A and B are shown apart, each in its own frame.
Chain A
Amino acid sequence: DTGVSQDPRHKITKRGQNVTFRCDPISEHNRLYWYRQTLGQGPEFLTYFQNEAQLEKSRLLSDRFSAERPKGSFSTLEIQRTEQGDSAMYLCASSHPEGTMSYEQYFGPGTRLTVT
């Protein structure tokens, strides 16, 4: 397995448009996370899945944001009616279940979103 992959790597969109990003985690990882990172800041937690269940959603995530992981494998993050403030790097990470094997979160390369 080559690690966590994300698609697309870059997305430029006009304000008001909808965008969808995809994350493919490491295959044996049942935990999947989405983070957002702006320039000069660390990643901020957005949401977390254990298998197909979305177990937490940050208050940072407005109603315009939705994430799914329908079969417990890949995940999508959709932003509706994008705003300029949504411009950021969206990072996906995955990990083993707590208490097993290893504990670190493995990050994908990110999708850089620019809203014009």
Chain B
Amino acid sequence: GQNIDQPTEMTATEGAIVQINCTYQTSGFNGLFWYQQHAGEAPTFLSYNVLDGLEEKGRFSSFLSRSKGYSYLLLKELQMKDSASYLCAVKDNDYKLSFGAGTTVTVRA
């Protein structure tokens, strides 16, 4: 089976940095995705890692270590609009995504 773990909730202050960790044990690995989901809305794509290392996209960065089954999403210069659920997902074959339960990030002024 698939096992993808991430913290349930995190709180941070506007302008700060937050790191959301994700560990996974899956039957296959074809890449790791991070999605953002605001309440009542569709998940939107943030980042994709298939090789070890750091991928940077503006205020968001994502890191992957395949040997450790570990990824993190780094959110810098937090804004109020970043308050959302962040979903870690592993593509375990060439099409299927297995998602974690999501981390709810609350940004406070």
Which residues of chain A have a CB within 8 Å of any CB of chain B? Answer: 4, 31, 33, 35, 40-45, 48, 50, 55-56, 91, 95, 98, 103-110
Contacts and interface: CB of A to CB of B under 8 A. Distances in A.
Given A108-B42, A109-B42, A45 B96 contact: yes
Pick the most buried of A42, A43, A50: most chain B CB atoms within 10 A of its CB: A42
B36 to A, nearest CB: 11
Interface in B64-103: 87, 89, 94-102
Given A31-B95, A103-B31, A42 B100 contact: yes
A108 B99 CA distance: 16
Classify chain B's interface size.
Answer: 20 to 34
A67 to B, nearest CB: 15
A112 B91 CA distance: 25
